[in-house]
Amino acid sequence: MNPTIQPARSTASHLFSIPVIVAALGYFVDIYDLLLFGIVRIPSLVSLGLSEEAVSSVGASILNWQMTGLLLGGILWGILGDKKGRLSVLFGSIVTYSIANIACGFVQDADMYKILRFVAGVGLAGELGAGITLVSEILPKELRAIGTSLVAGIGLLGAVVGYFTVEFFDWRNAYFIGGGLGIALLLLRIGVFESGIFQQVREQKHVQKGNFFALFTNKDRLIRYLKCIGMGLPTWFVIGILATFSNEFGKALGIDEAIRPGLAIMWCYVGLSVGDLSSGLISHALKSRKKAVFIFMLFTAIVSTVYLYAGINTAGQLYFLAALLGLGIGYWAMFVTIGAEQFGTNLRATAATTVPNMVRGTVVLMTTLYGSFKTSFAVTDAGALVGLICFIIGFYSILTIPETHGRDMDFLEE
């Protein structure tokens, strides 16, 4: 036997390598911190002395600041990921949101709260895209779907931990815990290595890297980018409308027990975690990203219809359907993976980081439409109309976007 020939690595050693584990834990902390304000919004603002009316308006304003931070941060970290490397984003983003979350634990007024949630939003924007890009580039192409699904499936459980943390701890301590988890993760990341594919491109000085505007200057590239965003719309319709306003839908459906949106969101994320793990396995089995996403999207459309029109009449039924909806939108990891696979190495982090944050940003449009429709239609019909728009765009996008299963990642955008 030639001693220079290295034995082939097992599937398990690839999937449970340090970069995959650290990316999964990073997304876990990211989701914990991303959803934490939504969970502690009412108790934190009440403790700052705001009235019930102010809690609603100021809470919405703070959330908008956080979402704006996500949009801008997605662009910032995406560009940095392609110019400086995937690891620079994984380190920089976690430092940013960890410090911001610890500072949130000391906040004394609403204005400072807005600024800190904006900074946290900027930091939180980089985690998923950089992690998925790194994992996509270091894993063999036949294991990419499973690897990225592991990252998202484990990561999304951060929502469940965030919910129960607030059940047992004061809201300020919940922020300290989130920041502490981030700092601990930072120490774990010291041993993570950079993507070899990126390292090769880094040496090519003539290649333009991380040019965000290049996504808009070529028609084919722009269409691919818009379709990547389009296929993600149903995911945040479920989270941003059906789960977030579940108290309104519960009342409209005649459910006697008051629905707790925080609990509906938690069950949605439980389903989402299971769905993300499943979608990678299904994509791997079908040898198709498109077929897997289509199946999950179709399931989500069916369950959304049941949620709004099947006449559910108990809180338990609504929470169960919230979990099924989460399972349906469990193609979240697959949709971000498709975003990474659609673009060359010199634009991959920019695309993969901005796409999910663009989708998150569309929640503002969805809630605005939902509020507008409620003036003319019943609550359930208003929700259904928003969903119809999202699903039409989503189905068109996934049916017409190029298949990327098995694609070689070592290519450039000219």
pTM of the model: 0.83
Distance, CA of 414 to CA of 411 (rounded, Å):
9
CA angle 317, 63, 215 (to 5 degrees): 100
End-to-end CA distance of the chain: 43
Cβ atoms of 77 and 89 within 8 Å: the answer is yes
Q: Which two tokens stand for residue 52?
A: 């019930």
Cβ atoms of 303 and 322 within 8 Å: the answer is no
Q: Which two tokens stand for residue 243?
A: 């789960």
DSSP annotation of 5 reads S
Whose tokens are 């190495």? That residue is 345
User: What is the per-residue pLDDT for 1?
Assistant: 44
User: What is the per-residue pLDDT for 114?
Assistant: 95
Contacts of 316 (CB under 8 A, 6+ apart): none
CA angle 287, 359, 242 (to 5 degrees): 95
pLDDT in single tens digits along all 414 residues of the chain: 444 444 556 777 777 777 788 888 888 888 898 888 888 888 899 899 988 778 878 887 888 889 889 989 989 988 888 888 777 787 888 889 999 999 999 999 999 999 999 999 999 988 877 788 888 888 888 888 888 888 888 888 888 898 889 888 999 999 999 999 989 888 877 666 555 555 665 566 555 666 788 888 889 999 999 999 999 999 999 998 999 889 889 999 999 998 888 889 889 988 998 898 898 889 889 999 999 999 999 999 999 999 999 989 999 999 999 999 999 999 988 888 898 889 887 888 888 888 988 998 888 889 889 989 999 999 999 999 999 999 999 999 999 999 988 777 666 666
User: What is the per-residue pLDDT for 5?
Assistant: 46
User: What is the per-residue pLDDT for 6?
Assistant: 44
User: What is the per-residue pLDDT for 196?
Assistant: 56
User: What is the per-residue pLDDT for 22?
Assistant: 82
Instruction: Please report the domains of the chain, with CATH numbers, ordered by start residue.
Output: 17-196+216-400 (1.20.1250.20)
Q: Which two tokens stand for residue 237?
A: 């319709």
Residue 324: exposure state from Cβ atoms within 10 A (0-12, 13-18, ≥19):
buried
Distance, CA of 390 to CA of 351 (rounded, Å):
21
Distance, CA of 116 to CA of 101 (rounded, Å):
8
Contacts of 70 (CB under 8 A, 6+ apart): 121, 122, 124, 125, 357, 360, 361
User: What is the per-residue pLDDT for 39?
Assistant: 82
Taking each helix axis from N to C terminus, what angle separates 18-47 and 144-155, rounded to the nearest 10 degrees?
30
